[in-house]
Amino acid sequence: MEMTPLTECDFAVTDYRDWPAGEDKTGELKREIVKRWNRAPRAIELLHQVLSYSLCDVSGEMEAVLGEIEAFLTDIEAEERDALRK
C-alpha cells in the first residue's frame, strides 16, 4: 500500500491532550505530524530491505542497508536538534 504524502491542509487537530504546546500552537503540531507521516515510507522501505536481506543471508548487502538506516536516523536527529534550537 502506497502512502500519500500529507500536508497541513489534509486534517484538523481536535485532541491536544499529549501536545505540550497547547491549542494555540496547532500549526506547529500539524507540521510535526506531517513531518513524521512523510518520513514513514522511507523507514518502511529500509525495514523491508533489512528483512529481505536477512532471509537471504546476504551480509554485505545488509551492511550497506544498515548504513543507509544509520544515515536516515542521523538526518532525523539533526532535524530534531535544529528544531529545538529554534
Whether 1 has a pLDDT exceeding 60, the answer reads: no
Mean pLDDT across 11-35 = 68
Average pLDDT, the chain: 75
Q: Determine the pLDDT at residue 11.
A: 61
- 76 close to 39: Cβ distance less than 8 angstroms: yes
pLDDT in tens, 43-77: 888 888 877 765 566 677 777 888 888 999 999 89
CA gap 73, 11 in Å, rounded: 27
